[in-house]
Structure 1
């Protein structure tokens, strides 16, 4: 484990680490914000999953989340969005390959060798983070777009593991939209039954834990009708009796300006669950 950035921030420290991932078979970078409270006692952890094309840098430099994490005493963990490096499979375009891991375990070649982001996020990364004395065993998860898909699906697939979950502009039904269909076909093959294990709308139908979902979506999002379609999640939650707070925010688009505008409310939402 190598710390490659260490910057004072709101009384705490914004670090970036490089480490070898055995699950992914490559080196990975991850941003970790330690609030000032972490110097005195263990703090709960909020995992943030970023969207297509992003690295750990997008969230830690654009969201302004450290201010709120410092107020509430929460560690923020922001990993990269895919395996990277020499020998890692890639593709033309921004929505498949590097920067587009979709937080699943690929089963098809050439992707299966490295693209196991689900296991990385659920098992390997927390095992390292939560071994630090600064971290408690209370965890939450959130994300944006592709990362919103990842956060919701991972929380629903792992009942009892996360105390809260939220998402900005998530891809709620990847099996039904072009981004998800392209990625799932490449990573998982053409058997659509295999896709359902990573599709939030499908997972809600049989969820064993009624973990409340908080979703913010801008109504001026350029991907709203073609890729995101939050109404599908709303309908699935209503049919299953699953608690959902879906907030359509007027005038906001898909950018980090949107995330920065509401990240404080999301961190407060997680703080209530993590410390309740």
Structure 2
């Protein structure tokens, strides 16, 4: 990436931070407050009102839920924010001679960095409050899983942002698909708890492996699915290459539809 583009990317990252939190009373505290509130609601509903059974008795349900929810939010927020990148920066794209994909990259990178920092804060809370003690190998697995989720988010955001230019209700569809994906990804449950037929179908979800790898790596209650994580990483790279090919074909018509 040319130095000038890196400088612009840095400015866009700062702009994303300001847009996300500027003007709010809590400011950057929402980085932790918003997902924690969601965690508390889900933990109350599925831990008390509709008790969910976790396959391992040594892992408290709030910990189990947090280690699935926060990685999912990192992925989903990045895709959601990246989807409207071209429309939100239509004026700049028309005036400034920069690669349009830079705006998608800035949105996704900013979202991943912000939510990734929130994930670190949650991990610190779990370390202090629940005695979570991840090993070095577990931390490596968590980093690898986060990288795979970020790759998927970038690839999907690039594709969705292009489609949103030509089909303006794409963003609404992405939101609905992410809502469905939340329940088809092992965030609230373990695949081991499901009937074999359902578990086999959910194994086809490429987001299952990174979520489980992060959870297992940090909690240590099960082996990290390295092979499945590697397959998911390969699929993420292929999807990213597909998004690059789509950009080359459709990108030339981008400004005509903005």
Q: TM-score, normalised by structure 1?
A: 0.28
- Which has more radius of gyration? 2
Structure that is richer in helix per residue: 2
Task: Identify the structure with the greater strand proportion.
Answer: 1
